[in-house]
Chains A and B, each alone.
Chain A
Amino acid sequence: MSIEIKQIEKSFGRFKALKSIDFAVESGELIALLGPSGCGKTTLLRIIAGLETPDKGCILFHGEDATDRHVRDRNVGFVFQHYALFRHMTVFENIAFGLRVRPRSQRPPEAALRRKVHDLLNLVQLDWLADRYPPQLSGGQRQRIALARALAIEPKVLLLDEPFGALDARVRKDLRRWLRRLHDELHVTSVFVTHDQEEALEVADRVVVLNEGRIEQIGTPESVYDHPASPFVYQFLGDVNLFHGRVHEGEAQIGDARIIWPEQSPQDSAVFYVRPHEIDITRTAESTAAIAACISDIRTLGATVRIELERSDGQGLVEAELARDQFSTLALTKGEVVYLQPRRLKLFSTVAETTGQ
């Protein structure tokens, strides 16, 4: 089922949580609402679910206005960050709950209900936990049960509020891949909220980046990452180095470095954005595009090495990331003076992007 979100606004007292939110979720799509805490992403999800009412605007489910429909009649599956499992019911009864509370005429017979619950337990690979109580399960297991419970009512839309937020890193990674596979199997229209850009980029078909109650950008993970629409998106999606400089006569000037910049509009004060892993480090200045810097710190993070450098012109710190092999070939040491060459610079305000050299 498709969802259309039209001109949604919401305030809490004087705080404007959402400002004119407008986008559509296509049927069968998996969408991530991504943003820092307090950006309104959870509020938006709760409005879609019907747990919160918008001040203005409307929500359309499959072209039909559902704004005033009660959450119980929306047929949405909602998964909470802290699971919200019923502690006094077994896992089995938790999943069966949505079926048992149906009006008598729509309630499946006991045998069919048991079959259905066990199918769902198998789907989340936890059939052996049917008779346990929620407090006896681990976080990851609880969240999978919560998901099974939400799926039991055969929802047209699945909404997940930071579903992996309370789990530790390893479980989180497993579970989000599992969620992606599950979605590929079930194709239920899904929206999930996260503040973790990695999670959003890995799992979602499309990402909606929110900031301070507004949509910053909507797009596929690749397009959002490769072509961020604003400095906010660029910074939110990964680590970033800022280089202050100017654009002059077809050149980007950063300190003493000159980088060919075909964009014609000159700018006296420009901020260039560079990702740490898009910086080359060399021992000698191989072109005019190199910036001299002194290595102040080296940290190995598994497969990559993070190097902190102090620019020789006193313009602050730069962070670079090298693959482990590359790092060993270069055999860099702390205190050494090296040359930085950004492979890719991003400049906002004039919509320009180019590759260095």
Chain B
Amino acid sequence: MFRNTRVLPGFAPTLGFTLLYLSLIVLIPLSATVVKSAGLGLEGFWQVITSPRVMASYRLTFGASLLAASINAVFGLLVAWVLVRYPFPGKRVVDALVDLPFALPTSVAGIALSSLYADQGWMGAGFAALGIKITYTPLGVVVALTFIGLPFVVRTLQPVLEDFEAELEEAAASLGASRWQTFWWVIFPTLLPGLLTGFALAFARAVGEYGSVIFIAGNIPMVSEITPLLIITRLEEYDYAGATALAVSMLVVSFSLLLIINGLQRWSQLSRL
């Protein structure tokens, strides 16, 4: 493995640099949070991260994030499909629109969404008539997280779809497969790894999202309060140890969920060596 027979030399320096870089950017700040939270002691730490209000915020944050990422997986696939497969007027504009949730400051998105979906807002009024309340409910959180997560799925799937060989579809059709069978048995399996990546990215982003959520969520304790907001609240109270304790607990959960998604992705790719 360390014999230098590659075309491009420099395995050792690049690995060293990567590790250093990751340490500076990711590992050291993260371990600092762990160190900080250690001031609570094990029992105190456990108490902080398992109090009922915090538990409710976990359920909301991770539940809404998973739901939003799932919605994005479905509709992001649809958007990517349409953008790659069909020519239509204004396609480039629509394509650029997809990136907008990336570019928009999250608080701007939050304000826009909450005024739109408020009971008197354009969209909210319609839903209110149906008896569905969006702002100040967990549903509002899902709406905001769906909004900011869309580009991840679309942008990871687009290149995969563009590279898809038309011949595979033709082969499936010549063997008698219907459109749906072709999609489900031939196209979808090749998209799956990309879809999972997009899902994981959208999920990770949603878990850490703060700005766009707090306006639409209303932040009612036990109902529509997300964990990042709790962390900010603790910070404002100068309870640094408590804030970092919550941060660590989120990190652990997020990290394990991402590991699971990565594992799924590995598994779905295994057959495509």
B117 CB, nearest partner CB in chain A, Å: 40
Verify B171–A78 contact, CB threshold 8 A: yes
Question: Which of A33-41, A58-66, A84-92, A281-289 lies at the interface?
Answer: A84-92
Verify A84–B272 contact, CB threshold 8 A: no
From residue 68 to 90 of chain A, which have CB atoms closer than 8 A to chain B? 70-72, 74-78, 80, 82, 84-89
Report Cα–Cα, A86/B170, bound state, in Å: 12
Report Cα–Cα, A343/B246, bound state, in Å: 95
Task: Give the residues in chain A near B165, CB-CB below 8 Å.
Answer: 82, 84
Verify A72–B185 contact, CB threshold 8 A: no
Verify B271–A133 contact, CB threshold 8 A: yes
Verify B175–A88 contact, CB threshold 8 A: no
Candidates B174, B181, B272; contact of A87 at CB < 8 Å: B272
Verify B272–A101 contact, CB threshold 8 A: no
Verify A84–B176 contact, CB threshold 8 A: no
From residue 160 to 175 of chain B, which have CB atoms closer than 8 A to chain A? 165, 167-168, 170-175
From residue 172 to 204 of chain B, which have CB atoms closer than 8 A to chain A? 172-178, 181, 185-186, 189-190
B266 CB, nearest partner CB in chain A, Å: 14
Verify B174–A76 contact, CB threshold 8 A: yes
Among B168, B173, B175, B176, the most chain A Cβ lie within 10 Å of the Cβ of: B175
Task: Give the residues in chain B near A70, CB-CB below 8 Å.
Answer: 173
Candidates A102, A135, A152; contact of B272 at CB < 8 Å: A135
Q: Does residue B273 face the partner (Cβ distance < 8 Å to A)?
A: yes
Report Cα–Cα, A76/B185, bound state, in Å: 20
Candidates B173, B271, B273; contact of A71 at CB < 8 Å: B173
Verify B273–A135 contact, CB threshold 8 A: yes
Task: Give the residues in chain B near A80, CB-CB below 8 Å.
Answer: 167, 170-171
Verify B181–A101 contact, CB threshold 8 A: yes
Given known contacts A84-B167, A133-B272, is B178 in contact with A71 (CB within 8 Å)?
no
Verify A71–B170 contact, CB threshold 8 A: yes
Dominant SS among interface residues on chain B: helix
Verify A72–B273 contact, CB threshold 8 A: no
Verify B190–A98 contact, CB threshold 8 A: no
Candidates A51, A86, A135, A152; contact of B168 at CB < 8 Å: A86
CB closest chain-B residue, reference A102: B176
Q: Number of B residues whose C-beta is below 8 Å from A?
A: 20
Report Cα–Cα, A133/B176, bound state, in Å: 22
Given known contacts A101-B185, A133-B271, A133-B272, is B178 in contact with A84 (CB within 8 Å)?
no
Given known contacts A88-B272, A133-B271, is B170 in contact with A72 (CB within 8 Å)?
no
Given known contacts A88-B271, A133-B273, A135-B272, is B189 in contact with A97 (CB within 8 Å)?
no
Verify A72–B174 contact, CB threshold 8 A: yes
Verify A153–B170 contact, CB threshold 8 A: no
Given known contacts A51-B170, A78-B171, A101-B175, is B273 in contact with A136 (CB within 8 Å)?
yes
Task: Give the residues in chain B near A50, CB-CB below 8 Å.
Answer: 174
Given known contacts A51-B170, A101-B177, is B273 in contact with A88 (CB within 8 Å)?
no
Q: Does residue A274 face the partner (Cβ distance < 8 Å to B)?
A: no
Task: Give the residues in chain B near A82, CB-CB below 8 Å.
Answer: 165, 167
B49 CB, nearest partner CB in chain A, Å: 41
Residues of B within 8 A of A (CB): 165, 167-168, 170-178, 181, 185-186, 189-190, 271-273
* 28 A-B residue pairings within 8 Å (CB atoms): A49-B174, A51-B174, A72-B178, A75-B176, A76-B174, A78-B170, A80-B167, A80-B170, A84-B165, A84-B167, A84-B168, A84-B170, A86-B168, A86-B172, A86-B185, A86-B189, A97-B172, A97-B177, A97-B185, A101-B172, A101-B175, A101-B176, A101-B177, A102-B176, A133-B272, A133-B273, A149-B175, A153-B176
7 closest pairs, A vs B, by CB? A98-B175, A84-B167, A101-B177, A84-B171, A78-B174, A88-B189, A101-B181
- Can you name 5 extra interface pairs (CB under 8 A) apart from A71-B174, A72-B173, A84-B165? A72-B178, A77-B174, A78-B174, A84-B171, A87-B272
